[in-house]
Amino acid sequence: MTDPTGRVAIVTGAARGIGAATARRLAADGFAVAVLDLDESTAKETVNGIVAAGGRVLAVGADVSDAGQVEAAVARVAAELGAPTVLVNNAGVTRDNLLFKMTDADWDTVLNVHLRGAFLMSRAVQRHMVAASWGRIVNLSSTSALGNRGQANYSAAKAGLQGFTKTLAIELGRFGITVNSIAPGFIQTDMTRATAQRVGQDWERFVADRVAQIPVARAGVPADIAHAVSFFVSDGAGFVSGQVLYVAGGPRA
């Protein structure tokens, strides 16, 4: 594999959870990393950790669903770190509810952040990848793409990202760009803690109930997803594109 030193990665939603773990992993792999989140100040912990480990990093605040903010953010990354050739579309939110209780705003917010955000970020970054004749895009989907009670909006967004991934893989492959998707199963994050609170269940019990259904008999952690991202963005994965990898501890988890 080629040394990634000098290459620049953008990770969205990187202030915490899967995004933060991914940013740290890519920095450890040798990438300069732009830690992008809605509020730049929330990325401080992630940035400090990367700096302490000797990495190059930049915190960037942007709403990924806003075209103007996305263009400005990518331009800033290119100016301060270098042209980005790796993009991890991880930014996400949940607004869970049963269909008859779900509001227009619940639907629009989730679709805008996940799908519109991935579209805007990919469109803005791909020009740098095309110019370099090399690029990697990784979109974070979810096992919820297969359907999950109370998540019509989230499931639709995550399923949409899989179709988006396969289409970009077809369009961009000729430019040396691969596009893949990772669909995590149950991962212990702030987002899943919020889900436990929403359904009124104790966190430890919530985790135990899900682990009981996972063949490898443990919950996932953000580093599990970061490891898969590390593979997809490597030179060694250059013949892997348009794929959806379920990182869920088993085939039905």
Distance CA 40, CA 199 (A): 30
Task: Give the C-alpha distances (Å, rounded to integers) separating 174 from 84, 131, 181.
Answer: 18, 12, 19
* Alpha helices by DSSP H, the chain: 17-29, 44-52, 67-80, 104-111, 117-132, 152-172, 190-198, 203-211, 222-232
The neighbouring-strand residues paired with 88 are: 11, 138
Choosing from 107, 119, 154, 186, the catalytic residue is: 154
Distance CA 238, CA 203 (A): 40
Q: Which residue has the tokens 């997803």?
A: 225
**CA contacts within 13 A on the Cβ side of 187:** 26
Tokens 């009124």 belong to 200
The yes-or-no answer on residue 246 being catalytic is no
Q: Cα–Cα distances in Å, from 213 out to 141, 158, 252?
A: 20, 21, 9
Question: Between β-strands 244-247 and 32-37, what pairing exists: parallel, antiparallel or unpaired?
Answer: unpaired
Contacts of 205 (CB under 8 A, 6+ apart): none
- Catalytic sites, residue numbers: 154
